[in-house]
Homo-oligomer: A and B are copies of this chain.
Amino acid sequence: MPAVQGDLRSDAALTGLLIADLIGVAVFAASGASAAVGKRLDLFGVAFVGFVAALGGGILRDLVVGAVPPLAFADWRYAVTAVLASLAVFRWHPQLNRLRRTVLVLDAAGLGLFTVTGTLKALDAGVPPVGACLVGMLTSIGGGLARDLLTGEIPAVLQRDIYAVVALGGAVAVSVLSWLNVADLITLCAAALTMTAVRLVALYRRWSAPIAVP
């Protein structure tokens, strides 16, 4: 039985999913490109870090579930979207500071979306639930991890903020929905939107995870 039910595999739903996915790719690429501009990388470096930030999580997901070649290489629209978004940041990054809040909201939306699609793809490929939750989380945090490693930083997601925990909670929710056979368009959108909302509240309230006492 597939991991999702009902009309989620209709043409309209798939087109909607592709558009949402590409928006997530563009936003994650912009985060990578911004970090690369800040480190004074050259034009190629900015495009490359943007590509990795946007598609690194999905490439890892596809390698782990055995879907080769990964979607980032199999469908040109992903790479082209990531590179165009990175080049836009390279060209217009001074003006982007004004868009900072928009970018944070879109990034939170990408977090929800990538976690849902990553978890479903893993379940569909036969990965058991605990593993599928980890794959779903890695799909949404993997790109940011790689971005930080490429720019010489200890990954931000390991240091502060409530980000990966939101992804993990959302992946668990998606696995439960799928196990209950109610993973349809409405419940999955609700899961993605809840993740986005929790992430935004965590940002606004400056929630952070505990650090070990010395």
Contact = CB atoms under 8 A, between A and B. Distances in A.
Interface in A102-156: 122, 125-132, 134-135, 145, 149-155
B79 A134 contact: yes
A102 to B, nearest CB: 20
A66 interface: yes
A36 interface: yes
A40 B76 CA distance: 40
A130 B210 contact: no
A131 B211 contact: no
Given A64-B68, A165-B44, A128 B76 contact: yes
Nearest to A70: B64
Interface in A16-46: 36-37, 39-46
Interface of A is mostly: helix
B69 A131 contact: yes
Interface centre among A150, A151, A154, A159 (most CB of B within 10 A): A154
A94 B213 CA distance: 9
Contacts of A151: 154
A212 B37 contact: yes
Interface of A: 36-37, 39-46, 48-49, 59, 63-66, 68-70, 72-76, 79-80, 90-91, 93-94, 122, 125-132, 134-135, 145, 149-155, 157-160, 164-165, 208-214
Given A44-B165, A76-B131, A152-B154, 13 more contacts: A39-B154, A41-B158, A44-B209, A45-B209, A63-B63, A65-B69, A69-B126, A69-B131, A73-B130, A73-B131, A76-B129, A76-B130, A80-B130
16 contacts: A41-B159, A41-B211, A43-B210, A44-B209, A45-B159, A63-B63, A64-B73, A65-B68, A72-B134, A73-B130, A73-B135, A76-B130, A76-B131, A91-B212, A94-B214, A150-B154
